[in-house]
Structures are given as C-alpha cells and as structure tokens.
Amino acid sequence: MSQEIKNPEEFEAPITEHLAELRTRLLRSLIAIVIAMLAVFTKVDIFFEIFKEPLHKVFPDLKLVALTPTESFFTAFKIAFLVGFVIASPFVFYQVWKFIEPALYEEEKKLVVPFVFFTTVFFISGALFAYFGVLPLAIRFLLTFGYTQLDVEAMISVSSYISFVVRLILAFGITFELPVILSLLARLGLVTPETLSRFRPYFVVAAFVMAALLTPPDVVSQVFLAMPLIVFYEISIVMAKILYPRSERSKENQA
C-alpha cells in the first residue's frame, strides 16, 4: 500500500491487503504506546500525585486505600497506559492517517499535518477539560451525596479512583475529536453541510446517550460531556460549509 496513486478509484486492493496494513499500523501504534508507558512507569509516582490532585482539592483529608496485594501494581499500569497514550498520541494519529491515505486524492494527502496537529490538540484539550473542569465537580457531587444523603464515610480504593479518572479523561479526549472527524469527512466530500444540519436533532439525543455510556453514572460528568459534543457539532457544521469541496457542491447544484 505504499504505491503512489493519483485517483483512489483506480486503487482496488484485496481485503487481505487492507487487513495486513491495518495490522501494521496497529502494531506500530502499540509499540509506541508501550515505549511511552515504560518511560512513564519509571516515574509513575509523580503522575499518581497529579491524578490525586482533583480529589485532594475537594477533600484534602481523604486517603486512598489498596484492598488487594495487586491493586497498587495494576493502578500504576493504568496510569502508565493513560499518560503513555497521551504522549504517543501524535504518532498514533499519524498511523491512522497513513492507513486511510491510499484512498485519498493527491491533494487530500497534503492534509496529514493539519490532521495530526488538530487531532492531538483536541484530544489533549478534552483530557485537560476533564482533569481541571469535570473531575473536581464530579467528585464533589458524588462524595457529598454520600456524606449528606446516605450518611456514610468515603473509603475509596486506589484502583476504583484511578479507573474513574482514566475513564473520564479518555472519554473526553476521544469525544473532543468530533470537530476534526466531521470536518475531515466534509473536506473529503463524504458528508455534506446539509446532511449535518438535518441530523442535528438526532445528534442532540445521541450526545446524551453517548455521554451516559462513556462517563461514570453521574449527572455532572454526563452533562459536561454532552454539552461540548453539541457545541462541537455546531462548529463542525460551520467548518463543513467552509471545507466542503466546491466541485462536489457544483455537481449537487447541477443535479
């Protein structure tokens, strides 16, 4: 799949070749993530303190506990995976681009730098938004409810807390990619601004459904994920109007 093609319609590869290419890209991405994870693992205590900050900001005296002998190790593994993935994300997104590149026209292949740059920026922006904005609010809401409504004292295992943090950060990082994905699809002529506009009411419902599935079961994190998705969808419609190919628009007008 390394051959140069001027028209993707001229390129017809068997499914086995596509699967082999996908395996290559996934393997390279995995190797990059593992290398980053190993580097993070040597300093995992530093990142652990960073991950505890949202909890201690709300409840300074609350301590995390380990309930099993293996819990601390697997907690460190989760931290290393998340941080390693963030570090390796530009390379991972580049591998995604290289996988779809053979299906693109020559002028479209030049979008590799903007694609890698903006996917990385939006992913990290989503992760930071979750860390600084959503985590403290979600923690305050969930633990305060337990203190006041159920009259219980919180004793949180380190594994459950880090899983909560990792899940929330990954959910926001991935969903923040929506403007980049829809803008790219519009630029390639695969979706039209009109289609996105017609689909708006359905997407609002879908945004809350996705938020409920991707985030922990609390109202705060779900609302904070659904609202940016809706805003990003509106931004995507505007970007689609700017990026949608003029040639495709002309064909539609003639039809």
Q: What secondary structure does DSSP assign to 157-218, as a single string? A: EHHHHHHHHHHHHHHHHHHTTHHHHHHHHHHTTSS-HHHHHHTHHHHHHHHHHHHHHHS-S-
> How far apart (Å, rounded) are the C-alpha atoms in residues 203 and 118?
22
How far apart CA 60 and CA 166 sit, in angstroms, is: 21
Using alpha carbons, select from 171, 127, 123, 157 the residue that is nearest to residue 55. 157
Separation between Cα atoms, residue 13 and residue 15, nearest integer Å: 6
Q: What is the pTM of this model?
A: 0.81
Output the tens digit of pLDDT for each of the chain's 255 residues.
Answer: 444 444 555 455 567 777 888 899 999 999 999 999 999 999 999 999 999 998 888 888 888 888 888 898 999 999 999 999 999 999 999 999 988 887 777 877 888 888 899 999 999 999 999 999 888 888 888 777 766 666 677 788 999 999 999 988 998 898 889 888 888 888 877 888 888 899 988 999 988 888 888 776 667 778 888 888 898 899 888 888 887 765 454 444 444
Going by the DSSP 8-state scheme, the letter that residue 121 receives in this structure is H
